Amino acid sequence: MPNYPYPQVPRFETDALGIHTSYYEMGVRNGRPIILLHGMSTSADSFRETMHELADDHWLIAPDIPGFGYTASTTPYNFPHLVEWLAAFCEVLHLPPVSLLGHSFGGTLAVTYAVDYPEQVEKLLLMAPAVLSSGSYPEFVKRIGVGLGLIDLGSAVSQSKLWVRRQIKTPFYNPELIDESVWDRRLADYELARQSADVLKASAFHDLRPSLSNLHHEICMVWGENDGVVPPSDADVLAEQFPNSQTHILPECGHAPMLEKQVEVQGIARQFLK
């Protein structure tokens, strides 16, 4: 069973590509780091449970992506710029080739980084990656609620925290099973999310499909069967493109498998990343 309440993971700060960058670090410095990349409108704190549970065996580093959490905003906001930020972040920490665990938007960033810096990546663990979102724009945007005003997250939070608290539960299959402390953290993430609109614009015009078959890394994909944000049918399309991949579809699970199916996801991660 999950060990709530989970304490905050130790947080550090550095500069990467001239961007003031906040990151969390935990675990065993065994020379094989794992970089965890969060989704849109969240922060690296979304991996708090994962980091605590995997820290006994792994070296885990989770940066706040620019424009989220405690990392500074940046411009231009596109994937080439974010990839260079991530490369600079790994360089400033003197990291060897890394494994990447990416969720949603963070999964897209992980795949893009692996395409551009294949020698710097060992494995990819992707949770509901929004890799194919450009092909479904603007339907993708509509599904995650931009039409409801979530694109202006700071304004929405200031107007009605109760309304936002309801909205942050919609990607989950059964939010009643999630510990109440998680919602307080998610609300804090929304208050710090400043570049969600830029993520949507960047994703809409970032077509990775021509490059996917060039990836020969070991890839593991995890998807919630009931994901209403990034459709689990994307897993079949991606599996055809990735020559060296495995897929896990988790029942009764929405868009955040690391929170809704913690035991299952942690087991998959241990097996794949060992």
CATH of the domain at 104: 3.40.50.1820
Q: Is residue 200 part of a domain?
A: yes
pLDDT at 109: 98
And the tokens for 154? 């700071």
Q: Is residue 254 part of a domain?
A: yes
And the tokens for 18? 């001239």
Domain around 164 = 11-273
pLDDT at 14: 98
Q: pTM value? A: 0.92
Q: Is residue 3 part of a domain?
A: no
pLDDT at 140: 55
Q: Are 66 and 74 in contact (CB under 8 A)?
A: yes
Q: Is residue 72 part of a domain?
A: yes
Question: Which pLDDT tens digits describe the chain residue by residue (274 residues)?
Answer: 688 889 999 999 999 999 999 999 999 998 899 999 999 999 999 999 999 999 999 999 999 999 999 999 999 999 999 999 999 999 999 999 999 999 999 999 999 999 999 999 999 999 999 999 877 665 555 455 444 344 444 444 445 677 788 889 999 999 999 999 999 999 999 989 999 989 988 988 888 999 998 899 999 999 999 999 999 999 999 999 998 999 999 999 999 999 999 999 999 999 999 8
Q: Is residue 5 part of a domain?
A: no
CA–CA separation, 149 vs 126, rounded Å? 28
CA–CA separation, 152 vs 150, rounded Å? 5
Mutual orientation of helices 105-116 and 196-204 as an angle, nearest 10°?
A: 50
Residues 24, 26, 30, 32, Cα dihedral to 10°: -40
pLDDT at 141: 54
CA–CA separation, 124 vs 135, rounded Å? 22
Q: Is residue 1 part of a domain?
A: no
pLDDT at 182: 95
Residue 180 neighbours by CB distance under 10 Å: 8
Q: Is residue 2 part of a domain?
A: no
pLDDT at 167: 85
Q: Is residue 134 part of a domain?
A: yes
CA–CA separation, 227 vs 78, rounded Å? 25
Number of domains in the chain: 1
